[in-house]
Amino acid sequence: MNTRAFAVDRETPFDRCAARVAAYLQDFPSCNAFGGYLKILDELADPSRYRVLRGMDFWNVPADPERVTVFLRHDIDNDPFTALRMAHAEAERGLFSTFYVLPTAVYYGIFRRDGRYCRYACMDWLYQAIAALGHEIGVHNDLLTLMLEYDISPAEFQTQELAYYHALGIRICGVCSHGSRFNALGLNNMWMFAEFGRKGCYTYAGKEYPYGELTLEQFGFRYEPYLLAREMPKEHRISDIGPDHGREMLSRLQALPCGVKSMLLTHPIHWKDQTRTEYGK
Ligand SMILES: [Zn+2]
């Protein structure tokens, strides 16, 4: 496996990258409008009922018997611009959350024929802007795709990516698994980490790839939302995935009793305005 794949592309201009994202998003109309997300935020912005936390603050905090403790989580997947809008709208209401950046997303970078996986430096301002608002940036783990699809060593890539974030002034302590196309083949990004208790070898394109050998600790990761979710009843895990596509998020939130810890997950791609086609700083 390639141990030196992580590279930084400093040539691609932001406008070209943004246009690529916009073209991609055309094929993915949202199930909800951005205004729907603002309604959820207005609900959450009541400190007498909700204590809203970033993953880094949530994972080991005891429940508050007087309030609902909410981990506000965003898997950015392929829509970083709606993520930035969300980040602003939350900060305006005094709410802070975690945004997980996906290394295999269209905005993140590109795999080149020479075996390098080049991260677009032109997007770094966006992650820094989200962090500067007070939110947490985390890694949206897709090591499985990097390993199987591109023959990239997951341990080396993760180490090098974290060093790059560090150089950008972004501190990372959370990792959250992405549901990749390999889920359909019976695999899961979670299993890359030993903490999930799965270990094995997968044969892909004639080559054997091990999983379950990395640990969260070796990268300084302090939590993984799916480990937290294991201890959470289903009704306390609220997301925009599922048959209602997030339309019932607000009512499910309102139905939560005080004293519970809850995880509220949104994917920005499901909350962009359909007519919004211009992206920029
Ligand atoms: Zn994802």
CA-derived radius of gyration, the chain: 19
Q: Going residue by residue through the chain (281 aa), what tens digit of pLDDT does each one get?
A: 999 999 999 999 999 999 999 999 988 888 899 999 999 999 999 999 999 999 999 999 999 999 999 999 999 999 999 999 999 999 999 999 999 999 999 999 999 999 999 999 999 999 999 999 999 999 999 999 999 999 999 999 999 999 999 999 999 999 999 999 889 889 999 999 999 999 999 999 999 999 999 999 999 999 999 999 999 999 999 999 988 889 999 999 999 999 999 999 999 999 998 644 444 33
What is the CA(184)–ligand 1 centre distance, in A?
A: 14
What is the β-pairing status of strands 98-101 and 68-75?
parallel
The whole-number pLDDT of residue 43 equals: 98
What is the CA(207)–ligand 1 centre distance, in A?
A: 26
Residue with tokens 């094995």: 200
Pairwise CA distance, residues 172 & 200, whole Å? 28
Query: Residue 274 has which token pair?
Result: 């359909």
- Please tell me the pTM assigned to this model: 0.95
What is the CA(178)–ligand 1 centre distance, in A?
A: 4
What is the CA(268)–ligand 1 centre distance, in A?
A: 10
The whole-number pLDDT of residue 11 equals: 97
Question: CA of 126: how far to CAs of 79, 180, 201, 241, in Å?
Answer: 12, 24, 37, 25
What are the structural domains of the chain?
6-270 (3.20.20)
What is the CA(65)–ligand 1 centre distance, in A?
A: 32
What is the CA(14)–ligand 1 centre distance, in A?
A: 23
Pairwise CA distance, residues 56 & 225, whole Å? 10
Residues with CB under 5 A from ligand 1 (ion): 75, 77, 178
The vertex-140 CA angle with 110 and 236, nearest 5°, equals 150
What is the CA(244)–ligand 1 centre distance, in A?
A: 18
The whole-number pLDDT of residue 166 equals: 98
The whole-number pLDDT of residue 274 equals: 62
CB count in 10 Å sphere of residue 277 = 10
The SS3 call for residue 174 is strand
Q: What length does the chain have?
A: 281
CB count in 10 Å sphere of residue 252 = 17
What is the CA(233)–ligand 1 centre distance, in A?
A: 21
pLDDT digits (tens, 9 = 90+) for 96-154: 999 999 999 999 999 999 999 999 999 999 999 999 999 999 999 999 999 999 999 99
The whole-number pLDDT of residue 149 equals: 94
CB count in 10 Å sphere of residue 217 = 11
